[in-house]
Structure 1
Amino acid sequence: MAALTIVAAATVPTPATASAPAATHERALTSTCAPSSGTKTFHSYDERSKGNVRMCVGGEGRPDGTRAIRAHLSGDFFYQWVGLWYDDCPSECNLNGHFTLTDTSTGATSQSPYLSKIWGGNRNGSLTHTFEVSSGIYKISFSGRKYGGYWRDGRFQSSDTDDEMSISGLEVTVDIS
């Protein structure tokens, strides 16, 4: 099996050689998070809700020689009350959107299906998608939103949009060779 390395837009150590994994296992080689932004903070339009969101990308070499890129978006969400920030999503929240994969040599794009995850009881939400790829340089980005939580649960709702925040602008470029 050929070695698979990921070279991100930022300096990321990669293994000099890769040994073949057991025939029944996938092997994640390297994971890198959005190097230009790390964790990015997003706000609702009125800034009464916020999310610290990070996108990470990992490459996989498989025993049959195929390759894949796994994109993972995770966020910690909060609401503001009387000047202090509290963990959001004590009740139901929704994180949704899609990842886009762009082949930088051809400009061809592929989108994940529309992804949606509903959760409650803690501030952490995440989405993951795997793209099948061949060798090349790819840009992975995310576009979506988070809504729900404290401002939607009806207790103190003054607007239907306090709980909504747009999430975009996170991207990672990787070289799968």
Structure 2
Amino acid sequence: MSFNKLEFGNCLFLICPTDYMENVLNRICSTKAFFYMSLGASFSWDIATQKNLIQLIEEQKITQIVFVTKYSNLFYKEVLEPNSEPFLTVYDTLLKLDKTLPDYFLNQSHPILRVMLLASRHLQSQQKHILETSLLGNLIKQKKIITQSFVYHPNNEVFYTPKTIENKVLLYGDLSPN
């Protein structure tokens, strides 16, 4: 699945700074785009951060919160490389997610599929976590702010939803660019 334009309300994108997604996301967002960044798209939701984001959401009239990562994010590759040195605590988080992949899938020959699924599951976890936060989660639910997540494939210039990745990758072992 892809999206071309976010047509309504201002959008807060939650991204990893190493993905360099700002220009791509600004192009697809027909309203104002705001960015909150964390390495590996692994966000910490301490009270101070929640309060700052609440202030931004209210002042800028944010109607959508979108988690986005490139499938080629260096943190995902790090987890999947057997000889790599852990870079940050992001590694532990992603390694736990990697262990949730089915055994048959871990032996698949196409590494992009594994990374896409890992990235998808990671973003789903982050999306669930933000909704469970004490202050920010309550505001998101109260104001009915849309939360979404997408894994971006830069070669195809396509944004895939977690559901699309799960369906196509796990059921068919193939990720079609359409």
The interval holding the TM-score normalised by the smaller chain is under 0.3
Q: Compare the two structures and name the one with the higher strand fraction.
A: 1
TM-score (norm. length: structure 2): 0.25
Structure (1 or 2) with the larger CA radius of gyration: 1
| TM-score where L is the length of structure 1 | 0.25
> In proportion to residue count, which structure has more helix?
2
